Structure 1
Amino acid sequence: MPQIQIQSTPARIGIQSELGQYQMRQGKVNLNIKTEPTVIDIKTERPVLIIDQTDTWNALTGGKAEAFWDRIYNSYGQYAARYVENKTQEYDRIGDITAGGNPVADLARQKMSQDMIPLNVYGHASPRNVKFDAIISKPEVNVQVGGVTTTPDYSPLDIQYQRGKFNVYMEQYASVKITPPEIDLTI
């Protein structure tokens, strides 16, 4: 019995592709630097020197009148006590009958050659009579801190893209081949 022959060929699709390409360019970055110096402001006052020569002038000239008379007045008590003591000794000597001689004449002669009791009207002389006192104020310091400012200057980024290729094609078409049976028509 004759048979039909069928032959089929499947279709085949071909694909070719190439990747796209990026090209990127960017210029150098410029860096702007700005500096501000630190400012220091110092304010000071001149030192004050106080010299006290009061004791020196008291020792040399007696000083101011008030201090001069004060020293004289304050030393009167000491002189009065010494005077009373001397007079008591003189009267004891005059009153002593056993001593003999002429005590009044002897005391008078002695008084003529005797120095007066020194009166301390001047101050004490000393190398430390001059006093120094210094007034030094602290300086006022103001500091304005400087700084550094940096500013980058970027150039723009240039991006270019080249598209790739994508090719789809039929590598083989589908086909069906039918072979009819051979029939012998000769009979």
Structure 2
Amino acid sequence: MTVPLPQIQIQSVPGRIGIQSQSGQYDIRQNSATIDVQTSDTVIDIKTEQPVVMIDMTKTWDALTGGKPEAFWNRIYSSYKECAIRYIQSKVQEYNQIGDLTAGGNPVADVAKQSLSQQDLKLNVFGPASYDNVDFQAVITKPEVNVQVGRADINVKVNKPDIQYNRGNVKVYMEQYASITVTPPIIDLTH
């Protein structure tokens, strides 16, 4: 009879190393940029003068009242020469008619009769009556415009970022230790 040989049993468990890691983190904070804006308004300065209307009514007053005394008397004096010439011309014509011996009838009576229907000589002492006796003149000055352009001053201040770095870590540990188990053979001595 054969006897089985006893066997040794060896059992091994490998060791395991555990590693836990945590990444580093950046914490970045940055405030918005600070903007300072200062403006000044545009200023418009306009200087104007009232329009001036000049009315000359000299011709109107000359036609209505004869005008200023100096102008009135100048018209009378200048009219005398013309009146004297017309008067002399009418008298020369009358005396020529009386002196014409070839004309029949009674020339003195005819001239006397004509002189009754004659109009008197008129002195031109008033100015002419016209719808255009008033002169208008308007003086309009150009406005003076001064523009002071406004402006905007913009100052921008960039705030630096606040950067915080939180370090990560690496944790190394034995998750399982290595082991060897040796089981001796069982020997049966009863045989």
1-side partners of 2:87 and 2:150: how far apart?
Answer: 82
Q: What is the aligned partner in structure 1 of residue 189 from structure 2?
A: none
Q: What's the CA shift for 1:113?
A: 3.1
Q: What is the CA deviation profile of residues 70-96 of structure 1, one whole-angstrom value per residue up to 9, with x for unaligned ones?
A: 112222222222122111111111111
SS in 2 for 1:99: coil
Q: What is the aligned partner in structure 1 of residue 139 from structure 2?
A: 135
Q: What's the CA shift for 1:106?
A: 2.5
Q: What's the CA shift for 1:121?
A: 1.0
2:35 equivalent to 1:31: yes
SS in 2 for 1:97: coil
SS in 1 for 2:35: strand
Q: What's the CA shift for 1:101?
A: 2.6
Q: What is the CA deviation profile of residues 93-133 of structure 1, one whole-angstrom value per residue up to 9, with x for unaligned ones?
A: 11111223322233223223321022211111111110000
2:94 equivalent to 1:90: yes
Q: What is the aligned partner in structure 1 of residue 66 from structure 2?
A: 62
Residue identity in the other structure for 1:65: P
Q: Which moved more, 1:64-73 or 1:44-53?
A: 64-73
8 A Cα contact 2:83 2:122, kept in partner = no
Q: What's the CA shift for 1:34?
A: 2.2
Q: How many residues align?
A: 147
The residue correspondences of 1:30-179 to structure 2 (distance < 5 A) are 30-160=34-164
SS in 2 for 1:98: coil
Q: What's the CA shift for 1:160?
A: 4.4
Q: What is the CA deviation profile of residues 15-65 of structure 1, one whole-angstrom value per residue up to 9, with x for unaligned ones?
A: xxxxx9876542111322222210101111111100001011111111111
> CA RMSD, aligned part only?
2.4
TM-score by length of 2: 0.67
Unmatched tracts of structure 1, length 5 or more? 1-19, 166-187
